[in-house]
Structure 1
Amino acid sequence: MHHAITIDALRALDAIDKKGSFAAAAESLYKVPSALTYTIKKLEDDMGVALFDRSKQRASLTPAGQLVLEHGREILLATHRLAASVQQLESGWESELRIARDSIIPHSPIFTLINEFNKLEQNVDISLSVEVLGGGWDALHSRRTDIVIGATGELPKGLFETHHIGSVSFTFAVASHHPLASLDSVITAEQLAEYPSIVVSDTSQLLPVRDSGLFKSKQVIRVNSISSKLEAQLQGLGIGFLPHHIAEPFLDSGQLIVKECAIPRPAQDLYIAWHKDSDGKACQWFIEQLKQQDWGVK
């Protein structure tokens, strides 16, 4: 039992759960399926429990397997952090840097910076992700990212370093063929309630979630990004507020129509945020460069 749980066994368990099958997991780990099957079977024998229910066509985790996976992922994350910390201690450069942006932030400036960073010829992997609303703060809080761009809302006190990069204003816009497009008067709350609203869902996993542009409506249609919200409103599927810098090209083309709405949506300040203890050279390089970018919000 002392040697039952190994890092290889935990990696195998994690891969099987993520990939959905032993064969796909084995391929992702560059192993043959029989090797993965042996690793899991040995772990089950050593622990004296079944980790997978094999009574059906597709093996599924048992409650014991789920427990081992949950705690095992914490161990894998700690192992990764340890290896990264040792490498950073030696060179000052992290082995990986994770950058998250809110979906209202354009990705082009980040790609430009990565191109410049690569000229430094440092062996640093870069992972990019997208968060929505409170998801940025949540990603920092849970340490699934190192830097977040476009964090909004109330600033967590004392936990992170922040830099203000501007503010985003919102425009209530409807598709040119939407029934509200031809209305000349201010749209009232009662009129809003007659149509579906398009709402971007928060990506927070641990911290409390919030919805973007939520008001009383006939139906709430939740999407996972601001680009999906834009597309839904362009198709006339629903109504709602859009960041002005994102809606502007479609306002100019006439595909979207600005309407005055009785329920205002105030502008939001945007921040770059990072951990106070982030002292790696890659993180510091990106922070300084990100501060100087024009993020095109207004």
Structure 2
Amino acid sequence: MISPITLDALLTLDAIERRHSFAAAAEELFRVPSAISYTVNKLEEDLGVPLFDRSRRKAELTPVGRLVLEQGRQILKATDELTAMARRAADGWEVELRIAIDSVLDCAPFYKLIEEFQHIQPKTEMILTEEVLGGSWDALSDDRCDLVIGASGAPPSSGFSIHSLGHVGFDFAVASGHPLTELPQPIPTSAIQDYPTVIVADSSRHLPARSSGLLDGRSRIIVPTIDHKIDAQCKGLGVGYLPHHRITEELADGRLEILTLDAPRPPSEISVAWPRGNTGKGLKWFVDRLKQMHFDPEHGVIVKAKED
């Protein structure tokens, strides 16, 4: 069933209520007063209820009329927003931009980029998600995001553009006072078998899950993010490798200690990745900015690349 409440009727009701008369509404809408009266009368007839109290000199809405207008104004606002979104999309700007940040990185440095982008294109909705290991590639392959920051390893298939940010270093860390701290270093991997290993679960939904820095511990504690892993190891619940730049505070205040194993974990390369066919202006803006940056493995921040 087609509703008798049209956008034109809502615009008419809105103008009458704001201008307090049919004549003033007609002037605002560039119509003759008879056209305004016809629109209102037709809507009242189709709805079967009066929308205005005509017993008074000024045009005043009835309770039903007030309900229709209040709800109708939300429709008018949504229509305006949809119109603006369509125009932005036609101009190449995304309605929304979905960015997945790998859990190995701290999101804080990227908030500055988002703030800068908002000054340029404030109407594009920003959606940030956190992924782990292969989950970053999975999100990109499954079209759950438009841009990945911090993806590790090689892409699962062709069709992606990649820009390397650098290499993340990992340290084997345990809680201060852990029994392993009493052993001479480098510690053989076999010595950790009596202690649980804290593992961050791969967030992949469709691609095969990846593993990183797994140790031959007798048991495992599986957590969802690097933040949870750091917290668990600070509490002495388990041991494992942690990205060096994420634990500087914990090392400084003595909550964690770094130990050397006889088989240290090599650094992991991280990249920015995006679909080659995506030509959105917002995506291009972020890619261009990220290409001017690199990862500092010591401080864990994204900084301007050094000029030659």
- TM above 0.5, yes or no, is yes
| Corresponding residue of 1:215 | 215
| Alpha-carbon distance, 1:99 to partner | 0.3
Aligned to 1:145: 145
C-alpha distance in 2 between matches for 1:255 and 1:190: 24
**1:297 corresponds to which residue?**
297
The Cα shift of 1:87 comes to: 5.7
Deviations 1:185-211 (A, max 9, x none): 322222111110000110000100023
Superposed CA offset, 1:9-48 (max 9, x none): xxxxxxxxxxxxxxxxxxxxxxxxxxxxxxxxxxxxxxxx
Structure 2 CA distance, aligned partners of 1:204 and 1:121? 31
> 1:155 — aligned with what?
155
Q: Please report how far the alpha carbon of residue 278 of structure 1 lies from its aligned counterpart in structure 2 after TM superposition.
A: 1.1
Specify the structure having the higher radius of gyration (Cα). Answer: 2
Determine the structure 2 residue equivalent to 1:10. none
Query: Is the 8 Å Cα contact of residues 106 and 246 (structure 2) preserved in structure 1?
Result: no
- Is the Cα–Cα contact under 8 Å of residues 150 and 272 in structure 2 kept in the other structure? yes
Give the TM-score normalised by the residue count of structure 2.
Answer: 0.66
Displacement after TM superposition at 1:212 (Å): 2.9
Q: Tell me which stretches of 4 or more aligned residues in structure 1 moved more than 6 Å.
A: none
Q: Describe how 1:75-90 pairs up with structure 2 within 5 A.
A: 90=90
Aligned to 2:259: 259
Q: Name structure 2 gaps, 5 residues minimum.
A: 1-82, 299-308
Pair 1:182 & 2:182 matched: yes
Corresponding residue of 2:107: 107
- Is residue 166–residue 294 contact of structure 2 (8 Å, CA) maintained in 1? no
Is this contact kept in 2: 1:88–1:280, CA < 8 A?
no
Alignment-derived partner of residue 282 in structure 1 = 282
Q: Check conservation: 1:201, 1:212, Cα contact below 8 A.
A: no
Q: Calculate the aligned-residue CA RMSD, in Å.
A: 2.1
**Alignment partners' CA distance in 1, 2:130 and 2:260:** 30
Extract unaligned runs of 5+ from structure 1. Answer: 1-82
SS in 2 for 1:119: helix
Preserved CA contact (<8 Å) 2:167 2:295: no
Partner of 1:197: 197
User: In structure 1, what residue type is equivalent to 2:99?
Assistant: I
Deviation at 1:283, TM superposition (A): 0.8
Other-structure match for 2:25: none
SS of the residue corresponding to residue 250 of structure 2 reads helix
TM-score (normalised: structure 1): 0.68
CA distance change for structure 1 residues 234 and 87 in 2, over 3 Å: closer, same or farther?
Answer: same
Question: 2: CA distance between counterparts of 1:160 and 1:87?
Answer: 28
Question: Identity rate of aligned residues, in percent?
Answer: 41
* 1:157-176 equivalence runs, <5 A: 157-176=157-176
The one-letter amino acid paired with 1:264 is: P
Given the superposition, is the C-alpha separation of residues 285 and 223 from structure 1 closer, same or farther in structure 2, using an over 3 Å criterion?
same
